[in-house]
């Protein structure tokens, strides 16, 4: 045994990073995480909604409509966080060809699009009573809309690729280009419409009383947990879908080979 030390006969135990990349290992541990995560999400939502709807004061200017904020701000926060997660996954996919990063990137895109759409929708519902309009070409709203269009483009791009591995690399490049561009777009849009009304959220964020900050933070946590729960489920579904595709392909090939053999023996 001593003289074989220089040439390991079996592969080294993979480090934590490689183990993280293995979809099989992921399927193993993520199974036990989904129910606790879902339960935690529900509990946090219950607490947050109770605070937001019953145990927080109405705003002296906006009245009861201030409660829309507890749904709107978490969605707006997620619309940006999800893109950040996709960008990190894109780096993982490009640099290490991390198979799980591809899956994470793919399953985050529709979720990000949904949260961004909800942020725009709740924002316009909130804008109607407070600003008197459903839509304003305000800098923040416009850049969120552009972000939504980018999510839609990425989802559409994923749907056009039949080959996952090649598609993932190309989409990762595009995700990163988008990530570089988002701050520029945001800057340009703010610069374009400097006449927008002072942003209510940041204005309140600095001087927010605890009675409003607490439900807001709880709701942000709840939505973030909701995203992670949905993302885990979506990732597991994607891995299973890929396995099913592989099995199907193998089955078709095996049947074709068997038929050929049958035909050959018949002759």
Partner 1 sequence: MNAFLAIIRRDLILAARNGGTTVTLLAFFLSIGVIMPIAIGPDKPLLASLAPAIIWIAALLSTLLGLDRLFLDDHEDGSLQAYSHANASLATLALAKLIAHWLITALPLILATPVLAVMLFMEFPAFLATIIALFLGTPALVALGALGASVAVTLKRGGVIAPILILPLSVPVLIFGISATNSLAGPNASHSALLFLGAFSLLTIAFTPFAIALALRSAGE
Residues that bind partner 1 (CB under 8 A): 94, 146-147, 149-150, 152-154, 156-157, 160-161, 166, 169-171, 173-174, 176-178, 180-181, 184-185, 187-189, 191-192
Task: Provide the minimum distance between the beta carbon of 145 and partner 1 in the complex, in angstroms, as a whole number.
Answer: 9
CB closer to partner 1 out of 87 and 171: 171
Per-residue CA distances from 54 to 46, 61, 117, 224, 251 (Å): 11, 18, 26, 22, 57
CB of 170 to partner 1, least distance (A): 5
Contact partners, residue 157, CB within 8 Å, separation at least 6: 167, 170, 171, 174
CB of 143 to partner 1, least distance (A): 9
Residue number with CB closer to partner 1 (134 or 187) = 187
d(CA 5, CA 216): 59
Nearest CB to partner 1, comparing residues 40 and 155: 155
Show the CA angle centred on residue 234, arms to residues 231 and 238, nearest 5°: 135
Rounded Cα–Cα distance for residues 81 and 229 (Å)? 15
**168 or 200: whose CB is closer to partner 1?**
168
Provide, rounded to whole angstroms, the least separation between the CB of residue 117 and partner 1.
15
Nearer to partner 1, 37 or 101 (CB): 101
Between 47 and 161, name the residue whose CB sits nearer to partner 1.
Answer: 161
Provide, rounded to whole angstroms, the least separation between the CB of residue 82 and partner 1: 16
Least distance (Å) between residue 171 CB and partner 1: 8
| Sequence-ordered strand ranges (E) for 94-164 | none
Could you give the angle at the alpha carbon of 39 between the alpha carbons of 35 and 40, nearest 5°? 115
For the four alpha carbons of 203, 149, 151 and 43, in that order, the dihedral sign comes to positive
Residue keyed to tokens 């049947």: 255
Query: What's the burial of 190, exposed, middle or buried (CB within 10 Å: 0-12/13-18/19+)?
Result: middle
């Amino acid at each position: 045994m001593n003289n074989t030390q220089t040439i390991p006969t079996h592969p080294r135990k993979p480090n934590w990073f490689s183990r993280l990349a293995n979809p099989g290992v992921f399927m193993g541990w993520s199974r036990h995480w989904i129910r606790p995560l879902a339960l935690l999400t529900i509990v946090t939502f219950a607490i947050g909604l109770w605070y937001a709807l019953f145990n927080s004061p109405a705003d002296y200017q906006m009245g009861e409509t201030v409660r829309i904020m507890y749904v709107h701000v978490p969605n707006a926060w997620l619309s940006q966080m999800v893109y950040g997660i996709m960008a990190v996954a894109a780096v993982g996919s490009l640099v290490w060809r991390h198979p799980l990063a591809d899956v994470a990137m793919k399953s985050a895109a529709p979720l990000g699009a949904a949260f961004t759409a909800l942020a725009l929708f709740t924002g316009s519902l909130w804008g109607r009573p407070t600003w008197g309009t459903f839509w304003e070409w305000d800098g923040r709203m416009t850049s969120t809309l552009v972000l939504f269009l980018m999510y839609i483009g990425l989802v559409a791009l994923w749907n056009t690729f039949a080959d996952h591995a090649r598609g993932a690399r190309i989409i990762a490049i595009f995700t990163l280009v988008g990530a570089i561009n988002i701050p520029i777009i945001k800057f340009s849009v703010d610069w374009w419409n400097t006449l927008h009304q002072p942003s209510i959220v940041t204005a309140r964020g600095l001087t927010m009383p605890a009675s409003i900050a607490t439900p807001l933070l709880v709701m942000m946590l709840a939505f973030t947990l909701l995203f992670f729960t949905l993302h885990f489920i979506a990732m597991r579904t994607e891995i299973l879908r890929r396995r099913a595709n592989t099995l199907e392909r193998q089955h078709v090939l095996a049947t074709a080979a068997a038929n050929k053999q049958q035909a050959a023996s018949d002759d």
